[in-house]
A and B are shown apart, each in its own frame.
Chain A
């Protein structure tokens, strides 16, 4: 304004007090607004972005580690289960073999027992048959002989002696 008042020539390098004060106020005002409201928010956004990217990477790494651990665990469990199955199968096989042996032995025993009793029965029956046969044959022979000889062989002792002799002869002739 002083330059205007001076008329003709103005010097553009001479500052105005009002403008200096206004410039200071305007600039300071802008600085405080940007300092308080704007730059912290932009920095916050940048930090959040960096964190989001880094967090994502870390999360992925963690997930991978977990997956690997799980895979290892499952592989181990599978191997364990296989081993267990193997031992169980082995055990079953030996047990089966033992049972089979036992059964076989039992069956053998049973069979021999049955055979023995059958043989005993057969023997007894044979003896019985022999006895009854001997009696019958004796009687028949005696009767036959008495008929043939015409001689009564009443005497019991003599009779049996004769039968025995006859049978002995019969057996001898068989041989």
Chain B
């Protein structure tokens, strides 16, 4: 739609939320959309890479194994051992999957030809945040029992009784609403805004190129800024994957701890 506008030199149609509503590439098959395809592509890509890297499990690693181990060790040590601590090993596969899945799907936002961050479709962050939500509550309930777990959330120990009037609703909201919502929306909003920003500069630059001579001269600046923003996006993509995994680890650690 917007391409037609740009090509025909009609008024510039600024990129909007509509640009994220991609129609299915197979007519009439609702689920055959680009984000879904990308999600599965990331699964294949990550699986192939890490299976190839870990297949030999050599004491002296090859370059590939070294690279794979680097990512795995980053999650295992930096997020698992460091934050969850005791008994962290059984959560490492989940954290590892989470980190690589988000990271690669974020990268899709700037990888040429793919160029669409899967996580800018809010459904995916919702799913991931929901899984994290269930896991950390399940872990907490399993560790402390449902009564003790809920009591510690609702009535934080060591607080004067009247404060509970204020604190209890806040704590309940934090644990059951704010945490999953912020977790998913932070990731979604970052990817959504980043992609929108890139669209503005690249489509804007393209539109300027089709304008009068003066606008043509301004156009390269739009592309240069767009390229600069691409590098910035790369940083944001890594950071968001890290933050999502970090917060998941923190929530699990919190649920495992005896005192909140």
CB contacts (< 8 Å) of B50 on chain A: these are 34, 37-38
Chain A residues positioned under 8 Å from B223 (CB to CB):
none
Q: Are the C-beta atoms of A27 and B128 separated by less than 8 Å?
A: yes
Interface residues of A in 1-45 (CB under 8 A from B): 1, 3-4, 10-16, 18-24, 26-27, 29-31, 33-35, 37-39, 41-45
Q: Which residues of B contact A1 (CB under 8 A)?
A: 21, 30
How big is chain A's contact interface, by range? 35 or more
The proximity string for B residues 1-34 relative to A, scoring 1 for CB distances below 8 Å and 0 otherwise, is 0000000000000001110110100000011010
Contact pick for B33, options A18, A27, A34, CB 8 Å: A18
Contact of B123 among A19, A29, A33, A42 (CB under 8 A): A19
Question: Looking across the interface, which residue of chain B has its beta carbon closest to that of A48?
Answer: B59
A140 to chain B, nearest CB (A): 129
Q: Determine whether the beta carbon of A20 is less than 8 Å from that of B123.
A: yes
The secondary structure that dominates the A interface is helix
Given contacts A15-B126, A18-B31, A23-B127, contact A33 B69 (CB under 8 A): no
Question: What are the residues of chain B within 8 A of A79 when measuring CB–CB?
Answer: none
Q: Least Cβ distance of A56 to chain B in Å?
A: 11
Count chain B residues whose beta carbon lies closer than 8 angstroms to a beta carbon of A. 51
B72 at the A interface (CB under 8 A): yes
Check if B128 sits within 8 Å of A42, measured CB to CB: no
CB pair B17 A11 closer than 8 Å? yes
List residues of chain B with CB within 8 A of the CB of A23.
Answer: 39, 123-124, 126-128
Is the CB of A116 closer than 8 A to any CB of chain B? Answer: no
- At the interface, is chain B mostly helix, strand, loop or mixed? helix
B174 within 8 A of A: no
Say yes or no: A45 contacts B46, CB within 8 Å. Answer: no
Contact of A33 with B47 at beta-carbon distance under 8 Å, contacts A42-B69, A45-B54, A45-B69 already known: yes
Q: In the complex, A42→B33 CA distance in Å? A: 34
Could you say which residues of chain B place their CB within 8 Å of the CB of A65?
A: none
On chain B, the residues within 8 Å of A48 by CB distance are 57, 59
Cross-chain contact A44 with B94 (CB below 8 angstroms): no
How far is it, in angstroms, between the C-alpha of A40 and the C-alpha of B259 when the chains are bound? Answer: 32
B54 near A12 with CB under 8 A, answer no
Q: B72 and A19: CB pair below 8 A?
A: no
Asked whether B234 is an interface residue with its Cβ less than 8 Å from the other chain, the reply is no
Query: Is the CB–CB distance between B96 and A39 below 8 Å?
Result: yes
B94, chain A: closest CB distance, angstroms: 7
Q: Are B57 and A45 in contact (CB under 8 A)?
A: yes
Asked if A19 and B35 make an inter-chain contact with CB atoms under 8 angstroms apart, the answer reads yes
B10 smallest CB distance to A (angstroms): 18
Task: Encode contact with A along B92-130: 1 for CB under 8 Å, 0 otherwise.
Answer: 111011001100000000000000000001111011100
Q: Is the CB of A10 within 8 A of B47?
A: no
Does A82 belong to the interface (CB within 8 Å)?
A: no
Contact of A30 among B21, B35, B43 (CB under 8 A): B43
Q: Which residues of B sit under 8 angstroms from A34, Cβ to Cβ? A: 46-47, 50, 93, 96-97, 100
Q: Contact residues of A with B, CB < 8 Å?
A: 1, 3-4, 10-16, 18-24, 26-27, 29-31, 33-35, 37-39, 41-45, 48-49, 52
17 other contacts beyond A12-B192, A45-B61, with CB at 8 A cut-off?
A12-B188, A13-B188, A15-B126, A18-B31, A19-B123, A22-B40, A26-B39, A26-B101, A30-B100, A35-B97, A37-B51, A38-B50, A38-B51, A38-B72, A39-B96, A42-B72, A49-B59
For the complex of A and B, 5 pairs with smallest distance between CB atoms: A19-B123, A41-B54, A15-B123, A23-B127, A18-B31
Could you write out 8 A-B pairs with CB less than 8 Å apart? A12-B20, A16-B121, A18-B36, A22-B39, A27-B128, A31-B97, A38-B53, A44-B57
